[in-house]
Structure 1
Amino acid sequence: MKGKDFSMEKTTRLKRDLAYTGTILKIYRDTVVANGIEEVYDYIHHDGAAAVLPVTKDGKILMVRQYRNALDRFTLEIPAGKLDAPDEPKIECAARELEEETGFRSETLEFLMTVNTTVAFCDEQIGVYIAKDLIPSKQHLDADESIDVEEWEVKDLLEMIYTGKMTDAKTIAAILAYAQKEGIR
């Protein structure tokens, strides 16, 4: 079934006004005309991030459990963090976050995928990598971070996804892509 042909529609952004600057994002108010109708949209700019799916020698995934203020609860996720600068290579950010959050590093990171987290109102893009051949190191947590590192079987993580117990989009996308790539069900 073929969808609607959007190539005939005309959409133009008339203006973008900065409404708020935070520590990791900027919020704008955009005025857009689409098919002759003027609308106002909220738009959030994020410089980007990287995430890493660390795989132990026995095939388990290292996950991090940490408090997330937006949800007011602890979540189970793959290690991730924001870029230190907009032009920082995502692979370097992924390597840094792996060591900072898990206390392991890896000499080789393999690109897995790119995820846009919330396309309706935010441009955040996360580069996701696979880390194997993990080398023990030391966690380097920020003063306000409290992260527990846990080893999980892929099949158990898949079960958490399918039962709705895991809700973090980058983590879900990474685990599903990795499981598909490796033929794990």
Structure 2
Amino acid sequence: MLNAAGHEPPIADEPAPDVRVLESTELVAGHVWDIRRDRLDFGGTVLERDYMDHPGAVAVLALDDEDRALMFRQYRHPIAHRDWEIPAGLMDVAGESGLVGAKRELAEEADLQATEWSLLLEMFLSPGGSSEAIRVFLARGLSEAVHEFVREGEEAELEPVWVPLEDAVTAALDGRIGNALTVGAVLAAAASKAAGWTTLRDPDLPWTARDRVRGERSR
């Protein structure tokens, strides 16, 4: 569809207010997230869909002065792998903004803080089966952070590795790393760097995608 100027408008995800949830039932109350079943009116047809009801998450691509990305291997039981990841965590603190959550995760998982923050990427991680919305931030101007968080379980074995950004991109394209957040973050950072970092956005921008999802679930 052409706009008033006769050009194709830029592609963009958009909410679907015409799809109305008739009934929402919690099937499983999990430790971290829940499984729900919704009945919805989709163009006059009633459909049933099961999905993971997720609070959302944030991730941080931390780059040092040599454009090396902070990464580590973490055991993930559903895939039975130690995959290469960047600092990330759930939006499970009431009232916390995405940026504040990202700062918390960088400190807790990597013992770092940053003076420069930018919004790098926004994603729906698995929209066919999960409500998870995620924001990926770029952090620069790094220094050691002091905190009281104690890493336990799988996080207890985290050991940071500084990986040149171009090596991380090659690993993603070669299929040697498969974590969606990691792959998305390093490819987005490489594209932004090639564009002179002009694609970076204000880290305090309203998180409208997650707000809409959470608002729909609370009805």
Give the shorter-chain TM-score range: 0.7 to 0.9
Q: Detail structure 1 runs of 4+ shifted over 6 Å in the superposition.
A: none
The answer (yes or no) to whether the contact 2:59–2:134 under 8 Å persists in 1 is: yes
Residues 71 and 141 from structure 1, CA distance in 2 versus in 1: closer, same or farther, beyond 3 angstroms?
Answer: farther
Tell me what 1:82 maps to. 90
Residues 16 and 84 from structure 1, CA distance in 2 versus in 1: closer, same or farther, beyond 3 angstroms?
Answer: closer
Kindly state the Cα deviation for residue 107 of structure 1 after the two structures are TM-superposed.
2.4
Structure 1 length as normaliser, TM-score?
0.86
Ranges in structure 1 where 5+ consecutive residues have no aligned partner: 3-9
Q: Give the % identical residues.
A: 28
| 2:155 is aligned with 1:147 | no
Secondary structure of the 1:132 match is strand
- Tell me which amino acid in the other structure corresponds to 1:59: D
Tell me what 1:14 maps to. 22
Determine the C-alpha separation between the residues in 1 that align with 2:35 and 2:44.
25
Select between 36-45 and 69-78 the one with higher mean Cα deviation. 36-45
Kindly state the Cα deviation for residue 62 of structure 1 after the two structures are TM-superposed.
0.6
Secondary structure of the 1:108 match is strand
Structure 2 length as normaliser, TM-score?
0.74
Select between 32-41 and 52-61 the one with higher mean Cα deviation. 32-41
* 1:39-85, Cα deviation, whole Å (9 max, x unpaired): 32112211111110000111111112110111111010111011232
| 2:146 is aligned with 1:135 | no
* 1:3-43, Cα deviation, whole Å (9 max, x unpaired): xxxxxxx6433211111111221211112243444332112
Secondary structure of the 2:79 match is coil
The answer (yes or no) to whether the contact 1:64–1:102 under 8 Å persists in 2 is: no
Determine the C-alpha separation between the residues in 2 that align with 1:181 and 1:13.
38
Determine the C-alpha separation between the residues in 2 that align with 1:57 and 1:98.
17
Q: How does 1:108-127 map to 2 (within 5 A)?
A: 108-127=116-135
Tell me what 1:7 maps to. none
Task: Give RMSD over aligned pairs.
Answer: 2.1
Kindly state the Cα deviation for residue 141 of structure 1 after the two structures are TM-superposed.
4.2
* 1:98-136, Cα deviation, whole Å (9 max, x unpaired): 111112211232111211101112111111111111102
Determine the C-alpha separation between the residues in 2 that align with 1:63 and 1:95.
16
